[in-house]
Amino acid sequence: MLSLAPMNTRSETATIIRQPESMSPDRRCLLLMSGGIESSTLLFQLAQKENPQPVFLDYAQRAARQEWQAVQTLSLQLHIDPQRYDLSAFGNAVGALRTARYHVPLPHRNFVAIAAVAAIASNLNIKRIVIGLSADDAAVDTCSRPAFQNAIHDTLGSLGLQLETPLIHLGKDAIIQYGNALGVPWAKTYSCLLGRTPACGFCPQCLKREAAFALAGVNDPDMGYDN
């Protein structure tokens, strides 16, 4: 069990399915996407009753090209045009100052990403920002923990923006079960930190993905590793 959160149940999933009914009447929302399990699941959920604008940030992560491909493929399947913003010069500049090369060059990546999408949402006159943080993220990432999220929620609120993290209480395995029910085409999603095609099978994200699919009891068609 990867999640440190309470056991996920189908009743929790059902709560999330109903959540759009109680959301703001403004159906437009900005969805930060990486093409992974969480943001892809949110895209398919939001597309049912909302008007999501997928946004992809290229901050010079190693898998940027493959992630953007996944975001495009998934969005176009739902007849939605995603937007890509190129922050790679910034990511490369910050990464160049670090002593080792990281797959993700930006420290506090989620903090930077939220600030960036706040600017993008305001520019698009969209008030709601949706991010696919999971309970697994909250267990390991400072910028995903409840205290930080509460603070950032208040900060964005002061800017007239609403931050929504509808998957924050679900582990990756429960999100997979939920996404499966929504018909997410897992073969079109992408998780590998190394940017390998097919996925490497040994980076932390590949290992988390494999474990979560096994726990969820769902077959992952992307498990055609190249090692």
- Residue ranges in contact with Zn ion by CB under 5 A: 192, 194, 199-200, 203, 206
DSSP β-ladder status, 51-58 and 162-164: unpaired
Tokens 């160049």, residue located: 96
Q: Is 43 exposed, middle or buried (0-12, 13-18, 19+ CB in 10 A)?
A: buried
Alpha-carbon Rg for the chain, nearest whole angstrom, is: 17
Looking at the Cβ atoms of 200 and 218, the one nearer to Zn ion is 200
Tally of CB atoms within 10 A around 205: 19
Looking at the Cβ atoms of 23 and 193, the one nearer to Zn ion is 193
CA 83 to chain centre: 15
Smallest gap, in angstroms, from Cβ of residue 210 to Zn ion? 10
Cα–Cα distance measured from residue 167 to residue 114, given in angstroms and rounded to the nearest whole number: 16
Smallest gap, in angstroms, from Cβ of residue 227 to Zn ion? 9
CA 97 to chain centre: 26
Smallest gap, in angstroms, from Cβ of residue 103 to Zn ion? 9
Cα–Cα distance measured from residue 72 to residue 64, given in angstroms and rounded to the nearest whole number: 12
For residue 133, give every residue at least 6 positions away whose Cβ sits within 8 Å of its Cβ, in sequence order, or none.
38, 110, 144, 149, 165, 167, 168
